[in-house]
Structures are given as structure tokens and as C-alpha cells.
Structure 1
Amino acid sequence: MAQSINTKVELTTTGVFYLGLDSKVGKFLIGDKALEFYNDKNPEDYIQIPWDFILKIGANVSGRSIGRHFQVFTDQGTFLFASKDSGKILKIAREKLGNEKIVRLPTLLQKIGSGIRNIFRKKNK
């Protein structure tokens, strides 16, 4: 049986963890010690990311709305999640990590625009 490392849970919600081309539906447990994700089909298939190991969390923000997807950056890699309650998750993460570790990720159009600018910069050199 999977054992949570949190002693107090502040939010429980459903969501998705994306792993390459595969995705896993499960539950988030956001608590005092870590961000945890447990797979619905197999509770032994879980991810526990302690707050101390998180370098930053990024989400797409357009206007005042936060997208469903967010990325957790650690020294071990990047984890991509989605949840209908991503705003609540990010709010709790901001309390645990601080404002400087919650960042805005570039939108798809911003990524395309920077790629085009980089192509023209290389040609001008």
C-alpha cells in the first residue's frame, strides 16, 4: 500500500499525469510536505515530489485565467500535469514555495514567434 509523506492534506482533486505519449488519470494530494499524484488504476503507481525538491512550477496564464496544464520542474526532470483545479494547486504551491518559484510559461504563439525571431537573427549574423 502506498504511504503518503504528507501529515496534513490541504487539497484533494482529480487530474492527469502525462508521461511521454501515455497519460495516467488519478488523484492529487497537496499537503504540508509534498505534491503527490496517485494513479486511479494502480495506487502503487504514484509520484511524490517534496516541496524542497521543486525548483519551479510553471503554468500558462492568459489574462486572469490559468490553464489546466502545469509543469513541475525538479533536478530529476520535468513533470507535466493537468487538473481542473490547477489554480488552487498553484495557490497552495505559492504558499509553500514562494512567489519567485511560480512562473508563467510561454504560450504556443510566443514559442513560435521566438523561434521565427531566432531564425532571422541567425541569418543576419
Structure 2
Amino acid sequence: MAQSLNTTVSFQTTGVSYLGIGGKVGKFLVGNRALEFYADANVEDFIQIPWESINQIGANVSGKKVSRHFEIFTDKGKFLFASKDSGKILKIARETIGNDKVVKLPTLIQQVGRFFKPKKNKKQD
């Protein structure tokens, strides 16, 4: 049986995990020690990310609207999730891990724009 890392849960919502092939629908538990995702189809199929292991967490922001999709960067890799309450999850993460680890990720248009932007040549001495 899956054992939660959290002793208290401050927020619970539904969402999707994009780990592996296809998305898995399940529940997010945001607590005092970790961010956890438990799949609805199989509770034993879970992801537990302790707050200490998160290097960065971020989402696309346009104006004041936060995207449904958010990414978590750890030393083990990158995790992609989606939730209708991603803004609330990021707000709790900001309070827990600090303001510097919660970032705005570039939108698709910004990424494409960087690709076509001319590179500046550095003058050699």
C-alpha cells in the first residue's frame, strides 16, 4: 500500500501526470513534506516529490493567467503535470520552497521567437 510522505495535507485537487506514455488522471496531495500524485486507476502508481529535492517549479504565465500545465525540475529529472488548480499548487510551493525556485516558464511563442532571433556576435580582442 502507498504510504504518504506528508503528515498534513494543505491542498488536494485532481490533475494529470505526463510521466511515461500518455497521461494518467489522478489526485494531487500538497502537504508539509512533499508534492504527491496518486493515479486513479492504480493507487500504487504514484509520484512523490519531497520539497527538498525540487530545484525549480514553474508554469507559463500570460498576464495574470497561469497555465494548467506546470513542470517540476529535480536532480532526478523533469516531471510534467496539469491541473485546473496549478496556480494554487504553485502558490503553496512558493510558500514552502521559496520565491527563487518558483519560475515563469517561456511560452511556445517565446521559445520559437528565441530560435529565430539573430545571435549577437561577441567582439574578439
TM-score band by shorter chain is: over 0.9
4+ residue runs over 2 A deviation: none
The one-letter code sitting in structure 2 at the alignment partner of 1:101 is: K
Corresponding residue for residue 2 of structure 1: 2
Which consecutive residues of structure 1, in runs of 5 or more, have no partner in the other structure?
none
Corresponding residue for residue 33 of structure 1: 33
- Paired residues, what number? 122
The one-letter code sitting in structure 1 at the alignment partner of 2:92 is: I
Structure 1 or 2: more helix by fraction = 1
Cα-Cα RMSD? 1.6
The one-letter code sitting in structure 2 at the alignment partner of 1:13 is: T
Q: 1:19 and 1:7 mapped to 2: Cα distance?
A: 25
Deviations 1:39-63 (A, max 9, x none): 0000000000000000010100000
Corresponding residue for residue 83 of structure 2: 83
Question: How many percent identity over aligned positions?
Answer: 65
Q: 1:110 and 1:8 mapped to 2: Cα distance?
A: 38
Give the alignment's TM-score, normalised by structure 2: 0.93
Deviations 1:22-76 (A, max 9, x none): 1100000000000000000000000000000000101000001101000000000
Q: 2:19 and 2:44 mapped to 1: Cα distance?
A: 16
Cα offset, 1:20, TM superposition: 4.4
Q: 2:98 and 2:65 mapped to 1: Cα distance?
A: 20
Which consecutive residues of structure 2, in runs of 5 or more, have no partner in the other structure?
121-125
Give the alignment's TM-score, normalised by structure 1: 0.93
